[in-house]
A and B are shown apart, each in its own frame.
Chain A
Amino acid sequence: MSNQVALTGNEAMAQAMKQINPDVVAAYPITPQTEVVQMFSQFVADGAVDTEFVTVESEHSAMSATVGAAAGGARAMTATAANGLALMWEIVYIAASTRLPIVMPVVNRALSGPINIHCDHSDAMGARDSGWIQLYAENAQEAYDNAIQAVRIGEHEDVRLPVMVNMDGFIISHAVENLELLADEDVKEFIGEYTAEHTLLDTENPIAVGPLDLQDYYFEHKVQQAEAMENAQKVVVEVAKEYKNLTGRGFEYFEEYKLEDAEIAILALASTAGTAKAAVDKLREEGVKAGLLKLRMFRPFPAKEVAKALSGLKAVAVMDRADTFSTIGGPVFADVRSALYDVKSDVEVVNYIYGLGGRDTTVEDLEFVYNDLQGIVNSGEVNKRVKYLGVRE
Chain B
Amino acid sequence: MSKVNLKELSLQDERLTGGHRLCSGCGASIIVRQILHATDDPVVVGCATGCLEVSTTIYPYTAWKDSFIHNAFENAAATISGTEAAYRSLKRQGKIDEDKEVKFIAFGGDGGTYDIGFQSLSGAMERGHNMVYVCYDNGAYMNTGIQRSSATPRNASTTTSPAGEVIPGKTQFRKELTDIIAAHNIPYVAQASPHNFKDLIRKARKAFEVDGPAFLNVLSQCPRGWRYPEDQAMDIMRAGTDSCFWPLFEVEDGEWKLNHIPKEKAPVTDWLEPQGRFKHLFKEGNEDLIEEIQEQIDKRWEELLHKCGEK
Among the listed B58, B67, B96, B120, which residue makes an inter-chain contact with A64, where contact means beta carbons less than 8 Å apart? B120
Q: How far is the CA of A214 from the CA of B54 in the complex (A)?
A: 11
Are B74 and A57 in contact (CB-based, < 8 A)? no
Chain B residue at minimum C-beta to C-beta distance from A58? B119
Chain B residue at minimum C-beta to C-beta distance from A218? B59
Interface string of A189-213 (1 = CB under 8 A from B): 0000000000011111011111111
Among the listed A54, A91, A203, A214, which residue makes an inter-chain contact with B67, where contact means beta carbons less than 8 Å apart? A203
Chain A residue at minimum C-beta to C-beta distance from B123? A57
Are A67 and B44 in contact (CB-based, < 8 A)? no
Chain A residue at minimum C-beta to C-beta distance from B57? A211
Are B127 and A54 in contact (CB-based, < 8 A)? yes
Q: How far is the CA of A69 from the CA of B81 in the complex (A)?
A: 8
Q: Chain A interface: which of B82-90, B243-251, B301-309?
A: B82-90
Find residues 34-82 in chain B having any chain A CB closer than 8 Å to their own CB.
42-44, 46, 53-54, 57-62, 64-72, 74-75, 78-82
Are B71 and A91 in contact (CB-based, < 8 A)? yes
Are B81 and A68 in contact (CB-based, < 8 A)? yes
Are A52 and B86 in contact (CB-based, < 8 A)? yes
Are A57 and B122 in contact (CB-based, < 8 A)? yes
Q: How far is the CA of A297 from the CA of B58 in the complex (A)?
A: 36
Nearest-neighbour CB distance to chain B for A97, whole angstroms, equals 11
Among the listed B64, B68, B82, B90, which residue makes an inter-chain contact with A54, where contact means beta carbons less than 8 Å apart? B82
Among the listed B68, B75, B96, B122, which residue makes an inter-chain contact with A60, where contact means beta carbons less than 8 Å apart? B75
Q: How far is the CA of A203 from the CA of B59 in the complex (A)?
A: 20
Are B65 and A210 in contact (CB-based, < 8 A)? no
Whether a CB of chain A sits under 8 angstroms from the CB of B126 is yes
Are B67 and A76 in contact (CB-based, < 8 A)? no
In the complex, which residues of chain A have a beta carbon less than 8 angstroms from the beta carbon of B75? 60-61, 64, 91
Find residues 66-112 in chain A having any chain B CB closer than 8 Å to their own CB.
66-74, 76, 90-91, 94
Chain B residue at minimum C-beta to C-beta distance from A72? B86
Whether a CB of chain B sits under 8 angstroms from the CB of A217 is yes
Nearest-neighbour CB distance to chain B for A282, whole angstroms, equals 50
Q: How far is the CA of A65 from the CA of B72 in the complex (A)?
A: 12
In the complex, which residues of chain A have a beta carbon less than 8 angstroms from the beta carbon of B126? 57
Nearest-neighbour CB distance to chain B for A67, whole angstroms, equals 6
In the complex, which residues of chain B have a beta carbon less than 8 angstroms from the beta carbon of A209? 67-70
In the complex, which residues of chain A have a beta carbon less than 8 angstroms from the beta carbon of B87? 72, 201
Interface residues on B, range: 35 or more
In the complex, which residues of chain B have a beta carbon less than 8 angstroms from the beta carbon of A204? 42
In the complex, which residues of chain B have a beta carbon less than 8 angstroms from the beta carbon of A60? 74-75, 78, 119-120
Whether a CB of chain A sits under 8 angstroms from the CB of B93 is yes
Whether a CB of chain A sits under 8 angstroms from the CB of B102 is yes
Q: How far is the CA of A64 from the CA of B124 in the complex (A)?
A: 11
In the complex, which residues of chain B have a beta carbon less than 8 angstroms from the beta carbon of A56? 78, 81, 123, 127
Whether a CB of chain B sits under 8 angstroms from the CB of A51 is yes
Q: How far is the CA of A24 from the CA of B82 in the complex (A)?
A: 8
Are B72 and A50 in contact (CB-based, < 8 A)? no
Given A57-B123, A208-B68, the answer on whether A72 and B44 have CB atoms closer than 8 Å is: yes
Are A90 and B93 in contact (CB-based, < 8 A)? no
In the complex, which residues of chain B have a beta carbon less than 8 angstroms from the beta carbon of A72? 44, 82-83, 86-87, 90
Are A208 and B83 in contact (CB-based, < 8 A)? no
Are A76 and B93 in contact (CB-based, < 8 A)? no
Interface string of B200-236 (1 = CB under 8 A from A): 0000000000000000000000000000000000000
Whether a CB of chain A sits under 8 angstroms from the CB of B92 is yes
Chain B residue at minimum C-beta to C-beta distance from A98? B71
In the complex, which residues of chain A have a beta carbon less than 8 angstroms from the beta carbon of B119? 57-58, 60-61
Q: How far is the CA of A140 from the CA of B60 in the complex (A)?
A: 45
Among the listed B46, B58, B74, B82, which residue makes an inter-chain contact with A66, where contact means beta carbons less than 8 Å apart? B82
Interface string of B169-207 (1 = CB under 8 A from A): 000000000000000000000000000000000000000
Nearest-neighbour CB distance to chain B for A160, whole angstroms, equals 16
In the complex, which residues of chain B have a beta carbon less than 8 angstroms from the beta carbon of A23? 86, 89-90, 93, 95
Given A201-B96, A203-B66, the answer on whether A68 and B59 have CB atoms closer than 8 Å is: no
Are A65 and B88 in contact (CB-based, < 8 A)? no
Are B102 and A68 in contact (CB-based, < 8 A)? no
Q: How far is the CA of A207 from the CA of B74 in the complex (A)?
A: 22
Are B82 and A65 in contact (CB-based, < 8 A)? yes
Given A64-B120, A206-B66, the answer on whether A201 and B90 have CB atoms closer than 8 Å is: yes
Q: List 14 A-B contacts (CB under 8 A).
A: A23-B93, A50-B89, A52-B88, A56-B123, A61-B119, A61-B123, A65-B79, A72-B83, A74-B90, A200-B67, A208-B57, A211-B60, A212-B54, A212-B70
Would you list the 5 A-B pairs with minimal beta carbon distance, nearest first? Answer: A68-B82, A65-B82, A57-B123, A72-B86, A203-B42
